[in-house]
Chain A
């Protein structure tokens, strides 16, 4: 059974760096074809894809946010970490991590709401 859980601060101040951790079980990110992605959703708005890391440690980023994002994995801990620099109130959103196989998001975490406010 695949599960994912996001963890990190609920509140960050403008200009700070956000660090989110996705802890997962039920699959190994060292297995060919496995990927983990971060996706966010501002309140009342649509889903926005942020970043993806695959089993081969290849990393991909949203075109509009790539200068602010870093994704990494710790296979031994079954964790994927996302950092986003220079946070702004418009970055207030629920942040999801998700498991992908061949491009399909088969499992989602419950999401974590991050509010950016001074």
Chain B
């Protein structure tokens, strides 16, 4: 089973700053099957990035994804007030097919 680790657990930043979130896999993950989601309190998660680096429909270009193999990164170039949330990475592969990371909370400094 592929285990995803996210760091840091919490990232305290100010609006306008750059956020760099890490997702590390215990085994190599196909880039085609690495996604990032944003979740705000009381809401279902929302797809941000799929295929490690492709933005989902309607996602602003301040969000970008990169990485391959076991190391992936979500970058928010300039934090907007609505970006303070929890971010999860997710992989799709062999049995079991889906795992999530534990999440990174981006909160206001």
Report the 10 A-B pairs with minimum CB-CB distance, sorted nearest first: A103-B92, A108-B44, A49-B98, A104-B50, A47-B100, A103-B33, A46-B102, A46-B103, A60-B97, A104-B35
- We find that the number of chain A residues with CB closer than 8 angstroms to chain B is 22
A108 neighbours in B (Cβ, 8 Å): 44-46
Query: Are B44 and A60 closer than 8 Å at their CB atoms?
Result: no
Known contacts being A102-B32, A103-B92, A105-B35, is A49 close to B47, with CB within 8 Å? no
A52 neighbours in B (Cβ, 8 Å): 97-98
Q: Which of A7-58 contact B (CB under 8 A)?
A: 37, 39, 46-49, 52
Partner of B1, one of A46, A63, A110: A63
Query: Are B98 and A37 closer than 8 Å at their CB atoms?
Result: yes
Report B39-77 CB contacts with A as 1/0, cut-off 8 Å.
100001111001100001000000000000000000000
Q: A37-B98, A49-B99, A52-B97 are in contact. List 13 more A-B contacts (CB 8 A).
A: A47-B37, A48-B100, A49-B100, A60-B96, A102-B32, A103-B32, A103-B97, A105-B90, A106-B47, A108-B44, A108-B45, A108-B46, A110-B44
- We find that the number of chain B residues with CB closer than 8 angstroms to chain A is 27
Query: A117 interface residue, CB < 8 Å from B?
Result: no
* Main DSSP-derived SS at the A contact region: strand
A111 neighbours in B (Cβ, 8 Å): 44
Query: Are A47 and B88 closer than 8 Å at their CB atoms?
Result: yes
A109 neighbours in B (Cβ, 8 Å): 44
The distance in angstroms between the C-alpha atoms of A52 and B99, with both chains bound, is 12
The distance in angstroms between the C-alpha atoms of A96 and B45, with both chains bound, is 10
Query: A62 interface residue, CB < 8 Å from B?
Result: yes
A63 neighbours in B (Cβ, 8 Å): 1, 96
A100 neighbours in B (Cβ, 8 Å): 92
Partner of A49, one of B51, B56, B96, B103: B96
Query: Are A47 and B103 closer than 8 Å at their CB atoms?
Result: yes
The distance in angstroms between the C-alpha atoms of A60 and B95, with both chains bound, is 8
A110 neighbours in B (Cβ, 8 Å): 44
Shortest distance from the beta carbon of A50 to any chain B beta carbon, whole Å: 9
